[in-house]
Chain A
Amino acid sequence: MTAITVKSGDPLLEFLLRMGDNSLVLGHRLSEWCGHTPVLEEDIAIANVSLDLVGQTQLWLGFAGEVEGKGHSADNLAYLRDAGGFRNFLLVEQPNGSYGQTLMRQFLFDAWHYYMLRRLEHSSDRRIAEIAEKAVKEVTYHLERSVDLVIRLGDGTQESHALMQEALELLWPYTGQMFDADGFDEVAVKAGIMPDPAEIRPDWDAQVTRTLRAATLEIPQEAFSHKVAARSIHTEHLGYILADMQFLQRAYPGATW
C-alpha cells in the first residue's frame, strides 16, 4: 500500500482531518506513557484518556474517509498519510517531556477541546454535532482531571512548581495556533460547520487564567506565538511519532490480526 495524500479543497473534509489528527496525535503521545508513569493510578488514567482520544479519532477520520469518497477507512488515513498530510496542532505533537510537561500540554489542549466541542454540538452538520455530543462527555472529565493535576503540581512542592512553570513557558507559544483561522476555517465558519476559532479564546483564557492562578503559576506575558503558513507544516517531532505509529502498516502493508 502506498502513502495516501488527501487533497485540500473541501473545507468539511479539511475540518474533519484537523479534528481527527489532533486527537490521534495526542492520543498516541499519551499512549507512550503506558507502563512508564510515576504512579499506577496515573498509568491507568492516562491510558484511558488516550483510549478516548483514539476512539474519537475513529469517528472523525471515519467520517473524513466517507466525505473524501475514495474508500479510505479511518485506519487508512491514520497509517498511510505522511507527516505533511497531517493537520494537527503543533502543541499536540510536542514531546512528552516530564510528566508535568505532559499534564500541562494536556490541560492547554483539553481547555480548547472542551469549548470547541461544546460549540460543535450545534454544528449545522448533524453528524459533527453527534460526534461532538459523544466526545464532549469524555473531554469533560479529561479537563476536570487535568485542571486538578495542574493545580496540585503547580501548588505542590518547590520542585513540582518549578517543573510546571517551565512546562508552561515552553508550551505557551504553541497555544496561539489553536485560535488562528485560515481560508478553510472561514468557509467552514460561514457554513455553520464550526465556530470561529477566535470565539473560543475568551472561554479558554478564562479557564486557563483561573486554573493557573489556583496553581500559583505565572502566565507568560510573552506574546510570541508559533505561526505556520499551513496546517501541513510541523515540527520535527511529528515524523518520529509517525515512524513509530505507522511502522507496522508500512512494513507489512494490510497486516491484520
Chain B
Amino acid sequence: MGETETRPELDEVWSWLGQVPDPEIPVISLVDLGIIRDVEWLDDRLVVTVTPTYSGCPATSMINFEIEKALRGHGIADLELKRQLSPAWTTDWISAEGLEKLRDYGIAPPLRNMGEQVPCPRCGSLDTELISQFGSTPCKSNWRCKACLEPFERFKCH
C-alpha cells in the first residue's frame, strides 16, 4: 500500500481534533481553545503539537489522553504528541466560534477590546463586578451581575 493511501488528509485530522472537547469546559473543543499548534506527517508518523494553557493545568495529561484516544479511534497507529511552550498560549487564540460557545454556556469570554468592562453572559448588562480574581480553575475569575443578580464566571484574558 502506498503511503498516500494510508495517511488521512491533515484537514480531516483537524476536523477530528475539532470534535475533542476540552475536559474542563466541554462545550468548546481543543481546536477552539487554540492549544493545538500544529499537525503534520513525518513519514508515517502523525505529529500533533500541543501547548499547555497554564503550566500547572491539571487537565494537561487528560487533554493528551483525549487526543490520543480520538486519533487512535480514527485509526492513527503511529502518533507523537509534542509539547511546545513558546510562543506561550494566549486567550487570543480561542476561535471566534469558541468565544460564542463560551458565552452561550454562561462563561463571559475573554475579550480584550472591552477593556475593564465584562458583560454579563446571561443578560448582557455591563453593570457587573469582580468577586474573586480566581475561580474554579486558574483561567477563570468570579463575577456578579448587578442587573440580573446572577453570579458568573469569566474566562480571563491571558
Instruction: Mark A residues whose CB is within 8 Å of B.
Output: 41, 44-45, 48, 50-56, 58-59, 129-131, 133-135, 137-138, 141, 145
Contacts and interface: CB of A to CB of B under 8 A. Distances in A.
A44 B85 contact: no
Interface SS majority for chain B: loop
B123 interface: no
A52 B142 contact: no
B117 interface: no
Nearest to A46: B134
A55 B55 contact: yes
B56 A44 contact: no
B73 interface: no
Contacts of A45: 132-134
Contact of B133 (A54, A134, A137, A141): A141
Given A54-B56, A55-B55, A141-B133, A48 B138 contact: yes
Nearest to A50: B56
Contact of A48 (B52, B88, B134): B134
Contact of B132 (A41, A53, A141): A41
Given A44-B132, A45-B132, A138 B86 contact: no
B86 A51 contact: no
Interface in B101-130: none
A130 B86 contact: yes
Given A51-B138, A52-B138, A134 B86 contact: yes
A44 B136 contact: yes
B93 interface: no
21 contacts: A41-B131, A44-B135, A51-B57, A51-B58, A52-B56, A55-B52, A55-B54, A58-B56, A59-B55, A130-B85, A130-B86, A133-B86, A133-B87, A133-B88, A134-B86, A137-B88, A137-B158, A138-B54, A138-B55, A138-B56, A141-B133
Tell me the interface secondary structure of chain A in the complex: helix
Given A131-B85, A133-B85, A134-B85, 5 more contacts: A44-B136, A54-B56, A58-B56, A130-B86, A145-B133
Contacts of B131: 41
Interface residues of B, number: 20
B86 A56 contact: no
A51 B56 contact: yes
Nearest to B137: A48
A44 B131 CA distance: 12
Contact of A52 (B54, B86, B133): B54
A59 B58 CA distance: 14
B38 to A, nearest CB: 16
The 4 closest A-B pairs by CB, nearest first: A55-B56, A55-B55, A51-B56, A41-B132
Contacts of A141: 133
Interface in B71-100: 85-88
Contacts of A54: 56
A161 B131 CA distance: 23
Contact of A59 (B85, B135, B136): B85
B138 A134 contact: no
A235 B135 CA distance: 35
Nearest to B136: A44
A138 B137 CA distance: 13
A247 B58 CA distance: 22
Contacts of A44: 132, 134-136
Contacts of A58: 55-56
A134 B142 contact: no
A243 B138 CA distance: 28
A48 B133 CA distance: 10
A45 B86 CA distance: 26
Contacts of B133: 41, 45, 141, 145
Contacts of B86: 129-130, 133-134
